C-alpha cells in the first residue's frame, strides 16, 4: 500500500502543468593552467655553453680589428654587457667566483686548493636538481685528470676539479671533468650548462697583442660558431666572458676605481636564442657573481657564495639578476 501511494504521488507530480525548474548545469572543474615554465624575465635554456677567455681589457677587445668574430658576429647579434667587471687578480679566483660565488680562499697567486672543496656551486646544484653540468678543457690529457699543467692545459682555469661534490670519474658518463674533444657533435646531447676552456694559446693568454687576440678570436669562430649557429634555433645560449683584464694587480678589484688595474673591466657577451641585441650597462655594472645569479635564477637554484665587498661598495648588489637582455615574449 505504501509503495502504491508513493507511485501515485510521483505520477501526479509528473502530470503537473506548472513550470518546471531548469536544472542547474553541472560544470566540470577546469584543469588549472600550468604556470609559465620561465621565471619572470628569464628564459630557461635547454643548453648554455660558457667560454672563458683570458687576460684582456674590455677596450682591447671591443671594436678591435683583431677580433672580427667577436665584434662582427657575437657583439652584433648578442647582448654586450658594457660594465662587466671581474672580481680579482689573478686568474684562478675569478673562475671560482663564476662557478661558486666565492674565490674559496685560494689566494691571489693561483695555488691549487690542497683539499677538495665541499662548498655550494653551480655544477653541484644543477646535478642535484636533475640537470646536468660538465666542463670541457682543451689539452686536458685524460678524462678526470688532476694534473696541474700539461702542454697548454692549466688546471688553474678548471675550478670544478677542486669540488668534491662534482663528479670526476674517468668516463664521459661519470665525470664532469672532460676533454674538449669530448664535446658531443650532436649539440642536443650537451649538458644543461657546460664550460669550455680553451688552452693557454687559444684563450688569448699567451702571446702579445694583437696576435694573441687574433688567435683566440679565430679559435672561437672555428670551434664555437657551429654551436652558436645551432643555439639560435634550439633554445640555447652562448656566453663569452673573460677571467680578468690584462693588469696584474693581486687582490680583490674595485669596479668604482678610476684606474684600469683595479677596475678590472672585461668583455662578456650573451648570444643565442631569446637575446635582444645591443649594449647593456646594467645599472652600476655586473660581475661574475651576477652572471652566476642569473644562471641560478633560470634554473631556480639556491645562491652560492656572496658578492665581494668592493663590488657592493660600488653599488653592485649580490642579488642583481640580468633580465633586460632576454626576449621572452608577452
Domain positions in the chain are 46-313
Give the C-alpha separation, 113 to 107, whole Å: 9
User: 94-97 long-range contacts, Cβ below 8 Å, gap at least 24?
Assistant: 94/243, 94/244, 94/288, 95/52, 95/156, 95/157, 95/158, 95/159, 95/243, 96/159, 96/162, 97/287, 97/288, 97/289, 97/292, 97/305, 97/308
Residue appearing with cell numbers 689539452: 139
Which of 42, 51, 38 is CA-nearest to residue 321?
A: 42
In order of 85, 132, 168, 304, the CA distances from 174 in angstroms are: 34, 11, 7, 24
Q: Is the peptide bond before 210 cis (omega within 30 degrees of 0)?
A: yes
- The answer, yes or no, to whether residue 208 has pLDDT greater than 60, is yes
Residue 317 preceded by cis peptide, ω within 30: no
CA 52 to CA 198: how far, in whole Å?
8
pLDDT digits (tens, 9 = 90+) for 74-125: 999 999 999 999 999 989 999 999 999 999 998 787 788 988 999 999 999 9
Distance CA 137, CA 219 (A): 14
Q: What is the pTM of this model?
A: 0.88
CA-to-CA distance for 204 and 111, rounded, in angstroms?
A: 21
Q: Cell match 686568474: residue?
A: 91
Report d(CA 106, CA 91) in Å as an integer.
11
> Is there a contact between 167 and 173 (Cβ–Cβ < 8 Å)?
no
Among 140, 33, 91, which Cα is nearest to 241's? 91
What is the percentage of the chain residues whose pLDDT exceeds 90? 79
Whether the predicted pLDDT of 248 surpasses 90 = no
Q: pLDDT tens, 289-328?
A: 999 999 999 999 999 999 999 999 999 999 999 999 999 8
Architecture of the CATH domain 46-313: 3-Layer(aba) Sandwich (3.40)
Q: Which three cell numbers stand for residue 50?
A: 660558457
Asked if the model's pLDDT at residue 55 lies above 80, the reply is yes
Query: How many Å apart are CA 317 and CA 315, to the nearest integer?
Result: 6
> Mean pLDDT across the stretch 49-68?
97
Amino acid at each position: 500500500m505504501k509503495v502504491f501511494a508513493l507511485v501515485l504521488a510521483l505520477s501526479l507530480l509528473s502530470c503537473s502543468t506548472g513550470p518546471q525548474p531548469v536544472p542547474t548545469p553541472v560544470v566540470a572543474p577546469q584543469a588549472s593552467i600550468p604556470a609559465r615554465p620561465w621565471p619572470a624575465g628569464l628564459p630557461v635554456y635547454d643548453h648554455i655553453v660558457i667560454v672563458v677567455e683570458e687576460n684582456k681589457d674590455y677596450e682591447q677587445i671591443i671594436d678591435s680589428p683583431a677580433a672580427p668574430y667577436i665584434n662582427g658576429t657575437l657583439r652584433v647579434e648578442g647582448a654586450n654587457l658594457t660594465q662587466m667587471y671581474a672580481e680579482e687578480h689573478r686568474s684562478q679566483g675569478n673562475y671560482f667566483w663564476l662557478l661558486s660565488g666565492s674565490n674559496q680562499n685560494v689566494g691571489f697567486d693561483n695555488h691549487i686548493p690542497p683539499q677538495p672543496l665541499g662548498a655550494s656551486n653551480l655544477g653541484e646544484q644543477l646535478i642535484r636538481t636533475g640537470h646536468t653540468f660538465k666542463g670541457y678543457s682543451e689539452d686536458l690529457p685524460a678524462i678526470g685528470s688532476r694534473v696541474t699543467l700539461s702542454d697548454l692545459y692549466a688546471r688553474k682555469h678548471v675550478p670544478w676539479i677542486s669540488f668534491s661534490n662534482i663528479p670526476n670519474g674517468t668516463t664521459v658518463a661519470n665525470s664532469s671533468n672532460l676533454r674538449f674533444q669530448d664535446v658531443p657533435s650532436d649539440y642536443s646531447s650537451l649538458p644543461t650548462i657546460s664550460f669550455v676552456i680553451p688552452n693557454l694559446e687559444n684563450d688569448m693568454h699567451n702571446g702579445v697583442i694583437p696576435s694573441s687576440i687574433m688567435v683566440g678570436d679565430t679559435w672561437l669562430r672555428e670551434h664555437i660558431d657551429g654551436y652558436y649557429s645551432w643555439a639560435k634555433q634550439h633554445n640555447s645560449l652562448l656566453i663569452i666572458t673573460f677571467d680578468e683584464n690584462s693588469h696584474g694587480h693581486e687582490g680583490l678589484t674595485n669596479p668604482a676605481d678610476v684606474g684600469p688595474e683595479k677596475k678590472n673591466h672585461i668583455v662578456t657577451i650573451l648570444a643565442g636564442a631569446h637575446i635582444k641585441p645591443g649594449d647593456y650597462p646594467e645599472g652600476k655594472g655586473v660581475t661574475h657573481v651576477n652572471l652566476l645569479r642569473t644562471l641560478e635564477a633560470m634554473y631556480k637554484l639556491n645562491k652560492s657564495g656572496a658578492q665581494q665587498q668592493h663590488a657592493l661598495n660600488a653599488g653592485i648588489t649580490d642579488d642583481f639578476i640580468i633580465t633586460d637582455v632576454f626576449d621572452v615574449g608577452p
